[in-house]
């Protein structure tokens, strides 16, 4: 069994101590999931803007070797659709960011991370946008340094993202445009800018 597969299987072990990604330091990348039967199931679920009275629609389905996130956004309301993971524990302090293998539609998407960070006692999230190209596959690297703390859509001055404390991940479309969207997500990895 490969180190990456072993670490992936340990990822969802709850309760227990956080996974220490430093064990994977000889590798430049750490596979979080690639949506295959041997990959970790992160328990993805849908959260659209109807939670705040919006009219967007979205969902996902698993295809051969990937996840397809699709629907239609409506800015007459919240204007977003998202898919989220169930809570887990992951230490990515040995890495520099998140790497996504995608096939896009030309729209802009947002990757979200959550930690145990709080603002006025309430949980906050960290957002980073990334572009896609219509009908093209691409590998997108989102450095941890580009994630901005947010609370209910409002940017905060801090705290900074602590990659030792990753608790949830999410994929959003929230580009303030109306209309259909479709993004194929083939894998999620942590990456290092340089091999150690």
pLDDT tens series, the chain, 196 aa: 443 433 343 343 333 334 344 444 445 899 999 998 888 889 999 999 987 789 999 999 997 779 999 999 999 988 999 999 999 999 999 999 999 999 999 999 999 999 999 999 999 999 999 999 999 999 999 999 999 999 987 899 999 999 999 999 999 999 999 999 999 999 999 999 876 5
Q: Can you give the residue ranges of every domain in the chain?
A: 3-191
**Per DSSP, which regions of the chain are E strands?**
19-20, 29-33, 45-48, 57-63, 66-73, 81-84, 90-91, 97-103, 109-119, 122-130, 137-143, 148-151, 154-155, 168-173, 179-191
The confidence score (pLDDT) of residue 9 equals: 36
Are the C-beta atoms of residues 71 and 57 closer than 8 Å to each other? yes
Q: What is the CATH number assigned to the segment(s) 3-191?
A: 2.60.120.430
Which ranges of 22-146 would DSSP assign to H, the alpha helix?
none
pTM of the model: 0.83
Q: What is the pLDDT of residues 42-61, one digit of tens each?
A: 999 999 998 778 999 999 99
- Give Cα separations from 163 to 16, 79, 168 (angstroms): 18, 29, 11
């Amino acid at each position: 069994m490969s180190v990456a597969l072993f670490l992936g299987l340990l990822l969802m072990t709850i309760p227990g101590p956080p996974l220490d990604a430093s064990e994977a330091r000889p590798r430049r990348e750490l596979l979080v999931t690639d949506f295959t039967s041997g990959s970790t199931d992160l328990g993805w679920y849908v959260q659209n803007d109807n939670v705040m009275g919006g009219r967007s629609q979205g969902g996902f389905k698993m295809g051969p070797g990937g996840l397809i996130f699709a629907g239609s956004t409506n800015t007459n309301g919240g204007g977003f659709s998202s898919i989220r993971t169930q809570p887990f524990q992951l230490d990515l302090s040995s890495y520099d960011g998140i790497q996504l293998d995608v096939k896009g539609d030309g729209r802009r998407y947002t990757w979200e991370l959550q930690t145990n960070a709080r603002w006025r006692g309430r949980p906050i999230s960290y957002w980073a946008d990334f572009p896609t190209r219509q009908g093209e596959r691409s590998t997108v690297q989102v450095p941890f340094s580009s994630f901005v703390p947010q609370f209910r859509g409002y940017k905060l001055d801090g705290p900074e993202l602590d990659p030792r404390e990753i608790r949830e991940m999410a994929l959003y479309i929230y580009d303030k445009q109306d209309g259909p969207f479709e993004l194929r997500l083939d894998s999620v990895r942590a990456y290092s800018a340089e091999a150690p």
